[in-house]
Amino acid sequence: MNCPTCQAALVPGAKFCANCGAPAPAITQVGSYSEPIPEADNPKEPIRLGDMTIKVEGELVPVVDVELGSQQTVYFEHHILLWKQPNVTLGFMGIQNAAKRFFSGLQIFISTARGPGNIAFSREAPGQIVAMRLKPGQSIDVREHQFLLATSNVAYDFFFQTGLANVLFSRSGIFIDRFTASQGEGVVLLHGYGNVFEKQLGPGEQLDVEPGAWLWKDSSLRMDTVSVLSSQGAGGLLGALGAFVGGSALQLNRFTGPGRIGMQSMTYHPPAAEGPAQTGGTSNVGNVFNSLFGQNQ
């Protein structure tokens, strides 16, 4: 769990933040189970890293406002830029296996920004901003299309979520973004739809999550896909029918500790496919040309 004031990582069980002294969020304990902790709010204090300052502003549709220095740079996903000063230079970051992303319907461009100057981003949807401060060597996995920006000292990669059940049933997709602090401390900012909750899982502890509800996880957490029929305590066939009638997924993502998982109260709905032409869909080729020549998408 991060401190809601300064975003520094909290020591498990601590009552106060060791960095700024703010009270740690209270944990509700029910027997041996601790309930997920809600993020109290967007980060209230500026986040400083080197010569860069990050501020989260606004409430309903929050904006990430960045003052770039001349040293640190950031990279961000396509289509979330709101404004920038003219002297902020934009570019593209090379991605390995870009062809695999292209034919899977994922974005193939990751944009970069170099200062000095001011630049701002927004997912243009109601929700909360989660700021993850990563220590050297620390990794987190994030569902696609939900990271806003990361500092340049955070390495970016993605991986294919294996397993036939994930391919056939999971609405969460089969590609997951991975961010690793490679050179000193780094920062990754995510957008969660609705409100964001965090749960710490102990070794071997498990939690079943609706496929559209998970936002991020520690890379140490194992993720599998199970059916409602096989989920213990789900009620078997009647439980599956109840889930179907109630609008829930018949497949659940099961996370096994140790590690943390972040969840969002609005389930994620993937954007329009950007891959090759599909029935009733659009082609990534058109989107690429529209991006390059400034047409609306």
Reported as a single tens digit per residue, the pLDDT across 156-184 is: 988 876 554 444 444 444 678 999 998 88
The parent domain of residue 262 ranges over 29-270
DSSP 97: T
* 295 domain-assigned: no
Q: Which whole number is the average pLDDT over 199-228?
A: 91
pLDDT reported for residue 142: 94
* Amino acid (1-letter code) at residue 271: P
* Amino acid (1-letter code) at residue 20: C
Torsion 90-87-59-47 (CA) sign: positive
CA distance linking residue 213 with residue 75, whole number of Å: 25
179 neighbors 150 (Cβ within 8 angstroms): yes
* 285 domain-assigned: no
CA 169 to chain CA mean position, Å: 21
pLDDT exceeds cutoff 50 at 193: yes
* pTM (two decimals): 0.75
* 55 domain-assigned: yes
Model pLDDT for residues 98-114, shown as the tens digit of each residue: 555 565 555 667 899 99
Most confident of 23-27, 32-36, 204-208, 286-290: 204-208
CATH code of the domain covering residue 114: 3.60.160.10
pLDDT exceeds cutoff 80 at 285: no
CA distance linking residue 48 with residue 44, whole number of Å: 13
DSSP 111: E
Radius of gyration, CA atoms only, the chain: 20
Give the lowest-confidence range in 42-46, 73-77, 92-96, 243-247. Answer: 243-247
Name the 3-class secondary structure at 289. helix
Q: Into how many domains does the chain fold?
A: 1
* 8 domain-assigned: no
Q: Which whole number is the average pLDDT over 131-141?
A: 93
CA distance linking residue 181 with residue 241, whole number of Å: 44
Model pLDDT for residues 23-73, shown as the tens digit of each residue: 676 777 766 778 888 876 678 789 999 899 999 998 889 999 999 999 889
